Structure 1
């Protein structure tokens, strides 16, 4: 039976426990895995492209103008998601990641739900995201949560762009 223990979603760093080091380990997992999936495997954070390494090393600086949500199981960060500041009536979800040891417990859905609630409170009309086309599970999750595929706003190959009206 799957452990479906509750997780708390908090705004980082404001609401995270002082002992929490934040999303650095989760972002490291996200970026290292993504590089491998793109066929550009790296041995660790030190080999990531500069912009991704900066997010891992200094997440508070990298996301200073954005909302970082953490899913906590006790004092352990088990998932993260970033919501960009609203621009022209929309916001974007990025860096959704759940620790592989905690998958299958609804953490990603809970994080996206918290992001959508934040977007509604912010008065945006649309929430956007992009996801690598090989992440079929993530695409299915986003579709279940009301996102639809839309014309790409990103020039990178292999991305699926999606949006949801609020």
Structure 2
């Protein structure tokens, strides 16, 4: 029998100041992304300013957005950000799962929570962009109702997707 970790997803920071936060997850996300783009850096301090700020102070970086954190076994194991609505649309950003918890439904739980959060906020559409080499993430998004759309981002290698809430 396979052991399946119990994962809880909630808004962060929320009312419980002891809940684990997303800083280490955001750092891992950005460091891995930089490496995958062929721009590997030595630690958080060497990240481009925008990404460094997210990893070092997610509260300030995402002050207008909703940060979702998946927790298991007393630690943060996944995160996602739902941007503040603009014209009935939000963006899903920074979906990340700790390597040790991949394949256990963390990403799916975060995407479902993000779509629910967006719907509760009156958002009609959620969009996202994902690097084309992240085929597992693209498959996850497609299974959860996202479809590929024309790109709104000029960076090579990005796949843009949308889903209705």
TM over 0.5: yes
Query: 1:79 matched to which residue of 2?
Result: 78
| Distance of 1:18 and 1:68 partners within structure 2 | 14
Question: Cα deviations across residues 104-129 of structure 1 (Å, max 9, x unaligned)?
Answer: 10000000000111111112111100
Query: 2:22 matched to which residue of 1?
Result: 23
Query: 2:10 matched to which residue of 1?
Result: 10
Question: Cα deviations across residues 81-139 of structure 1 (Å, max 9, x unaligned)?
Answer: 00000101111100000000111100000000001111111121111000000000000
How many residue pairs get matched? 165
| Distance of 1:70 and 1:21 partners within structure 2 | 8
| Distance of 2:23 and 2:164 partners within structure 1 | 31
Residue 59 (1) aligns with residue 52 (2): no
SS in 2 for 1:127: strand
| Distance of 1:3 and 1:91 partners within structure 2 | 35
Query: 2:160 matched to which residue of 1?
Result: 161
Please report how far the alpha carbon of residue 38 of structure 1 lies from its aligned counterpart in structure 2 after TM superposition: 0.2
RMSD: 1.1
Tell me the TM-score normalized by structure 1. 0.95
Please report how far the alpha carbon of residue 20 of structure 1 lies from its aligned counterpart in structure 2 after TM superposition: 3.7
Q: Say if 1:2 and 1:105, in contact at 8 Å, map to a contact too.
A: no
